[in-house]
Chains A and B, each alone.
Chain A
Amino acid sequence: MIEFKPSYKTILSNNDRITHEKKDGSFTPKYRLPNTGGVIDRRSRVPGSRFKSRLIDERIKKDGK
């Protein structure tokens, strides 16, 4: 099981090995790709559909309003 560490950058290379990059080095434990299913992309979008969207104004948060 891979442990994810926020301070690391996780990358899968072409030979399906996982790399956690760090400024002063890296390590590469073996890892098998977990997914063999289809890829979700724009083509799987329902025509005419919209996602819910909202504004969170950071300044309002800061002002406590």
Chain B
Amino acid sequence: MANKILYSETLILEVYLIGYASQGESIVFLLKADGHVSYAGVVDCYECYSINKTIEILTSEGVEKIDFLCWTHPHDDHTLGLNKILDTFCSDNTKIWITDIYPQSYDNYSQPSIKLYKSLKDRIKSGNSKVKIATDNKLLATLKCYGLQTYLFEIWSFAPNSTILTERKEFDKPEKGNPYSIGLSIFAGRFNIMLGGDVENETIDRFEEEYFDTPIDYIKIPHHGSSSGDMLPEKLDLFALKPPNIATSTVFTGHDLPEDKVLQRYKKWGTSEIYITHGLDCVANREKYGVVLTSFDILEEREYPIETILLGNSISYN
């Protein structure tokens, strides 16, 4: 992938948050110059009922190979179907980012997930791989978009917190996974999109103000709206950041996520739009997936630079 793209008329970032009826999370983002995909990325994957919306979206957009893949952590609800993304949509030019699970924690994951994880870790050990480890405050990808103006597109990781992981390692404390979760910031022109992964309060508590220094437009709520990651609004408010326009969440019905009280925190903070990939009420004969598609007009020429479309079973939370 070149680190430059060219646009003439339009430059749009589309972010698809994909969820399923009971659990599972994946994100596809597409940077479109003049209507066609110039940069494609995937964060996590899930599939069920023979549905893999991640693959469907990539295919329908004509994406044959992606430029960026981030696997936030090897829990199954962020993993199923990821092997197909690796096999079919990744090339030697795809940057692949994973988290650094210490071997003493391997037993806390399913066998298929940890097998896939080990295979990627082996590629790193081979020394000739595009697979890399993401840690806090790391630049994962960057490119410039040239046209009438030049716009910067960057992807940074703000989690996992390397200090927390070092503590785990030193005290030989097995960890079930969420302190390992990668959190991402996508900076597209003046827009700021925060993808919270399954980041939890222990990590949020250690956020540094100098990293979160510009307004955030979109937050994928950490850990499916669990109270284990509910400190984010207060933490960012403490950094004098105004609430985002949009907060989104997938569901995990086995744990009753998202929690209403967590969504209310975003509401109370001042977030004007909250979208969930699946209705909180169980309704028969509805779609088994939900997609929240949000587009950002990087050139800021539309009357509404941010627009959201709800697909499948996704809903607006009031």
Contacts and interface: CB of A to CB of B under 8 A. Distances in A.
Main secondary structure of the interface of A (DSSP, over half): loop
B5 A41 contact: no
Contacts of B272: 53
A19 B38 CA distance: 12
A58 B310 contact: yes
Nearest to B9: A4
Given A12-B6, A54-B304, A55-B310, A23 B64 contact: yes
Interface string A41-61: 111110111111111111100
Contacts of B189: 40-42
Interface string A1-14: 01010111111111
A56 B304 CA distance: 11
Nearest to A45: B190
A43 B214 contact: yes
A51 B149 CA distance: 19
B82 interface: no
A54 B275 CA distance: 12
Interface in B10-56: 33-38
A42 B34 contact: no
A65 B166 CA distance: 55
Contact of B308 (A13, A38, A49, A56): A56
B306 A57 contact: no
Contacts of A54: 304, 306-308
Nearest to A12: B4
A34 interface: yes
Interface of A: 2, 4, 6-14, 18-19, 23, 31, 33-35, 37-45, 47-59
7 contacts: A10-B36, A14-B2, A34-B148, A50-B217, A50-B245, A53-B272, A55-B273
